[in-house]
Amino acid sequence: MNHSKSVWVVVILLTFLGGPVLAVCPTADLNRDCRVDLSDLAEFGRAWLLTNCQKPSCLADLTGDQAVSDADLLILAGQWLRDDNRPVRIKWLGHASLKIWINEYTIYVDPVNYSPYYQLKDSPHDADLVLVTHKHDDHYSPADIAKVWRTGATFIGPQDVVTAYGQGQVLLPGQTKTIGELSITGMPTNNSNHPRANKWLGFILEVGLIRIYVAGDTNFIDEMKSLKDISVAFLPIDGIYNMGPAEAALCAGDIQPDLAIPYHWFNANPQTFASQAPCPTRILTAGQTIASDDWMANPPLIGHWPLDESSGPLAHDLGSGNTGQVNGSAVWQPGAGQIGGCCLFDGLNDYIDLPMILNPSAGPFSAFAWVRGTRPGAFILVQNDGTGSGRGWLVTDASGNLFTRLTDGGASTPNLTADCVVTDGDWHLVGVVWDGSLRHLYADGIEVAVDTVPLGKLLSSDGRLYLGSGKTPSVQSGLWLGSIDDLRIWNKALSPAEIPTP
């Protein structure tokens, strides 16, 4: 038997093979830790060299052919590769709800179709595991669990939740349960509205080298200080029933996760948490998914103004912290937008002043917003000159058609205009994409105009952005009359598959 040749086969396979996750421990898990890694290869090597291991009861006989051979080594190599290259994905469903995938294995934490996010409108019936932290109705909803539940799923929660639900496994703080290669550990929670005596839960989910901490509803407690090697920590920051942004930032400093993500906001500003936490942070938008192979990467969404505020002169940016200033008598309208709330502009002196976020000449970008207006010839999103030449990113013409004034400055470069009226009083999702050579206009998820001839580099501008106004707001003409909701800007050209849709 050529052992050295077989070792090279292992190396090659660990480079090229892949496959799906299993919900039970892999057959090549020779040391019974529900993971295939170097320690299992060591166990395999010992078995391979023992002549008395060539019998059906030998753990290293993975093929069941009553011998330990190259064929068994190939099985171990393939399963090792799967364990080392298994992305974990996490989708924030808004408020305190998460969806987590370990390849085909699907986990929900506190699945609730919570206002204003409403990310559980459908009934996917795809849950393998449902975890509930406690009994409050923004975390525990039997009706929403029914939307995700599928036959054979497992339900885990504290005693009072399991009793109320009528089935499931009770998990206590400090206790660990194992399902295949996944371990779930209960973490205690404590504050005046979630007393320790209730034995309500946070969760640590561990698979391979990835450890996800979902804190649940709690203040900063001593048990958090002993947490180690956390990959991602979801920390509540509302400051009403939980930690506020500053306390959560201190908590993140003690835990030192690879990535800290604020959730359970209510009216708290997640950017305050992000600016104070002494560790990497990321602010997610409802419905956004991150994956373990890139969740530390800088996201291409560089600006996101949900316009969900209920009062005050500030429009908070969840992308990069570029807070906008509301001018005039614009009115916040919670719950009246297409995604949560929106801002209502009177067409007289209302606009939102946003910091400079990108220079159009720097490369591809995309911008989308929901609008509902009744005045043709009005501005949606315009950039001031700064030290360059600002242009209207999204504008309407005298007939109410969507167009863009972004240009390379060429004498033969016209505005790009769509045959699509967006000032008819209905909501429309409008957007512009610059891919580095062509301008694309979108309305309601459909491309409605695109250049037929490539352009040069767009004109440079480092000026501020105005939402609802031209680049000289003091000149009160063409101001938006109606509502605007959920402005998003990416520093990339969105592909057709990535274009937002209604």
Asked if residue 51 has pLDDT above 60, the reply is no
Among 26-35, 113-122, 150-159, 354-363, the range scoring the smallest mean pLDDT is 26-35
Asked if residue 464 has pLDDT above 60, the reply is yes
Q: What confidence category does residue 320 fall into, taking pLDDT thresholds of 50, 70 and 90?
A: low
Asked if residue 379 has pLDDT above 90, the reply is yes
Helix axes 38-48, 70-84, angle to 10 degrees: 170
Asked if residue 214 has pLDDT above 70, the reply is yes
180: left (phi over 0), alpha (psi -120 to 50) or beta: left
CA angle, 433 then 437 then 441, to 5°: 30
**Sign of the alpha-carbon dihedral angle for 395, 398, 400, 401:** negative
Among 12-21, 288-297, 410-419, the range scoring the smallest mean pLDDT is 12-21
Q: Please report how many Cα atoms fall inside a 13 Å half-sphere around the Cα of residue 391, on the Cβ side.
A: 21
Domain ranges, ordered by start, for the chain = 3-84, 88-291, 301-498
| CA 411 to chain CA centroid, nearest Å | 43
Q: What is the mean pLDDT of the chain?
A: 86
Is there a contact between 339 and 500 (Cβ–Cβ < 8 Å)?
no
Alpha carbons 304 and 271: distance in angstroms, whole number: 12
* % pLDDT > 90, the chain: 58
DSSP H or E run through 205: strand 201-207
CATH 1.10.730.10, domain 301-498, yes or no:
no
Intrachain domains 88-291 and 301-498 with the same fold: no
Task: State which amino acid sits at residue 272.
Answer: T
Is there a contact between 108 and 127 (Cβ–Cβ < 8 Å)?
yes
Task: State which amino acid sits at residue 213.
Answer: Y
Q: How many C-beta neighbours within 10 Å does residue 136 have?
A: 17
Is there a contact between 120 and 56 (Cβ–Cβ < 8 Å)?
no
- pLDDT of res. 301: 77
> What is the dihedral angle through the alpha carbons of 154, 160, 166, 167, rounded to the nearest 10 degrees?
20
Alpha carbons 69 and 59: distance in angstroms, whole number: 12
The CATH number corresponding to 88-291 among 3.40.50.11540, 3.40.50.970, 3.40.50.620, 3.60.15.10 equals 3.60.15.10
Q: Mean per-residue pLDDT for 156-167?
A: 98
**CA proximity to 471, closest of 360, 356, 381:** 381
Task: State which amino acid sits at residue 330.
Answer: A
Strand partners, 483: 344, 372
Alpha carbons 116 and 337: distance in angstroms, whole number: 10
Asked if residue 323 has pLDDT above 80, the reply is yes
Asked if residue 38 has pLDDT above 60, the reply is yes
Among 199-208, 327-336, 492-501, the range scoring the smallest mean pLDDT is 492-501
Q: Which of the pair, 149 or 16, is modelled with greater confidence?
A: 149
**CA proximity to 30, closest of 18, 19, 46:** 46
CA distances from 33 to 21, 38, 231, 360, 429 (A): 15, 12, 20, 52, 50
- pLDDT of res. 65: 72
DSSP for 386-454?
TTS---EEEEE-TTSEEEE------TT---EEEEEE--SSS-EEEEEEE-SS-EEEEETTEEEEE-SS-
Q: Mean per-residue pLDDT for 448-458?
A: 96
- Edge to edge, the sheet with strand 176-179 lists 176-179, 182-188, 201-207, 210-214, 232-236, 259-263
**Sign of the alpha-carbon dihedral angle for 247, 253, 255, 256:** positive
